[in-house]
Amino acid sequence: MLAATDMSDYALELLSISCTFHSKDDPGQRYTAVADTTLRIKAGEFVSVVGPTGCGKSTLLNVGAGLLEPSSGTVKVFGETLAGVNARAGYMFQTEALMPWRSAVANVMVGLQYRGVSDADAREQAEAWLSRVGLSGFGDRYPHQLSGGMRKRVALAQTLVLDPDIILMDEPFSALDIQTRQLMENEVLDIWSAKKKAVLFITHDLDEAIAMSDRVVVLSAGPATHPIGEFAIDLARPRDVAEVRTQPRFVELHTQIWEVLRDEVLKGYAQQLRKAA
């Protein structure tokens, strides 16, 4: 029988979320990064959120992870209002988040150890995940002894070893070269299709968003970022992220979505220039 908390169709719901920050230099000054944003992800659904740099993508993901309390709005996890950290979510950060003093296997083990799993069990599961992400034999290496792509694989194993029902990924592969990136995207899709977890995937790369997702949500440029378009991606699965880009339907979807995204990217870019000035 399903637990009462699992009766909801949605794994994660961000409901009318707004996030306002105080300026560090002038606490009287407020900046509304995200305004009245609603985003729902079904169990097993792969949803990408695209938007220009600085628009509020990481902010929204932090809210979904329970790491940032929104100024207003509610987060629901499998129908239950979230208070504190989202224990059903695994989070892959935009920046490198491995512990440099721990070996690869020890980095993957840490979440399990934190949950009280014995060291021997944690090691066995961590090694199994390292080999699943193509790193068997690299467990003893420290982060500085691994390539950027390998470190991302360790971070992926670190997230997935906890078997989260919701996977939150914040531009996980944006620092990688295109070939490594496509390999990793395909690996994520393979793992996802086997486990069918809810995924909220943040990216500013529209090609990546379309190739990976069931649905793409476009955010406006900030301030007061909010969704301005939502597109169902009806490309057949399984997909190869490199191959799928050549399909006429992909090109059609890309054209449609870019139509909505283009102006926001230009606005976002102009804002970054103003901020830097």
Ligand X SMILES: Nc1ncnc2c1ncn2[C@@H]1O[C@H](COP(=O)(O)OP(=O)(O)OP(=O)(O)O)[C@@H](O)[C@H]1O
Is residue 204 a contact point for ligand X (CB under 6 A)?
yes
* The one among 32, 58, 71, 180 contacting Mg ion by CB under 5 A: 58
The DSSP symbol for 221 reads: P
Q: Is there binding between residue 20 and Mg ion (CB under 5 A)?
A: no
Q: Of 35, 34, 43, 36, which is closest to residue 7 (Cα–Cα)?
A: 43
Nearest to 34 by CA among 209, 258, 227: 227
For residue 52, give the DSSP letter.
-
The smaller minimum CB distance to Mg ion, of residues 54 and 90, is found at 54
Nearer to ligand X, 94 or 256 (CB): 94
Pair of tokens at residue 80: 């239950």
Q: Is residue 58 within the footprint of ligand X (CB under 6 A)?
A: yes
53 binds ligand X (CB under 6 A): yes
What are all long-range contacts of 135-141, with beta carbons under 8 Å and residues at least 24 apart? 135/104, 138/104, 139/103, 139/104, 139/105, 139/108, 140/103, 140/104, 140/105, 141/103, 141/104
**Count of residues binding ligand X (CB under 6 A)?**
14
Which of 21, 142, 258, 269 forms a contact with ligand X (CB under 6 A)?
A: 21
Tell me the window of 37-45, 74-82, 88-96, 204-212 that interacts with Mg ion (CB under 5 A): 88-96
Binding site for Mg ion (CB under 5 A): 57-58, 94
Binding site for ligand X (CB under 6 A): 21, 31, 33, 51, 53-59, 94, 204, 222
